[in-house]
Amino acid sequence: MLGQIHSIESFGTVDGPGIRMVIFFQGCPMRCLFCHNPDTWQREGGMQKNAEELLDQFERNREFYIRGGITASGGEPLLQLDFLLELFEKAKSRGISTCLDTSGICFRQEDPRYQRLAEVCDLVLLDIKQIDPERHRHLTGHSVFPVLRFAEFLDRRQVPLGIRHVYVNESLNPPESLQELGRFLGRLRHIKSLEVLPYHTMGISKYEQLGINYPLKGVPAASKKEAQDARRQILMAIQEERKKTF
Ligand code: SF4
């Protein structure tokens, strides 16, 4: 089976534990207003690779990947679920650690392949772009519910979860949404980390190259401090919810 791969980062240090080979999958159904990788949206393009080729590439440099492994990122890896499963199942049989970086948008509870996927993910980095349904649709063009159901599904299966959230500004990330996100996360038991990333404008040139209108034109980048404050609000709501739930 061939996967449609946008690119490979051979020395990734921010997408999962240790040093990792990050495989960026081609194709994403979302259209996040702040996306800095619009070049991954189309399903066509990039290169075609099979799982063995990718894992052989990892193994050739195995000694560099201290405490690391492979990370599937994108784009949206769940768009190529059969290929992702093959890659992760083969990685596990070679003793390679697996991490999935996803928006969760493709998740369907009734699809049995997700059960298999949960068994071969050592960590899932789940991007929750917004918790409020209307704001999520505005921000991404899609419903938030598959994302939330995916978080609950993984949590029930005890898959370690790292949550990622992009902070843009008070209008797109108002305090009530941050608190609601915290309350939702407070009901999950297997969260290992929470990253709140400040919105940045480094993707603008890609939109220009692709001839696409940049949706957040004029919106300034968020500061680290704003992102830290947002994270603090989410953490406080997590703690309050945990007192009630557990
Ligand atoms: S899910 Fe990721 S790749 Fe897809 S549009 Fe959103 S930010 Fe971009």
Extract the residue ranges of the chain whose pLDDT is less than 50.
none
Q: Give residue 57's pLDDT.
A: 97
User: Domain with 15 in it: what CATH number?
Assistant: 3.20.20.70
Residue closest by Cα to atom 6 of ligand 1: 32
Q: Name the residue range of residue 96's domain.
A: 2-245
Ligand 1 pocket test target in 30, 73, 125 with most atoms within 8 Å of CB: 30
pTM of the model: 0.97
Which protein residues are within 6 Å of ligand 1, measured from CB? 28, 30-32, 35, 37, 40, 74-76, 103
- Determine contact, residues 60/94, Cβ cutoff 8 Å: no
In the chain, how many domains are there?
Answer: 1
> How far apart (Å, rounded) are the C-alpha atoms in residues 38 and 203?
8
Gap from CA of 38 to ligand 1 centroid (Å): 7
Residue 130's pLDDT is: 97
For residue 40, the ligand 1 atom closest to its alpha carbon is 3
What is residue 246's predicted lDDT score, i.e. its pLDDT? 77
- Burial string for 43-61 (b: 16+ CB within 10 Å, else e) reads beebeebebeebbeebeee
Hey, whose CA ends up nearest to atom 7 of ligand 1?
35
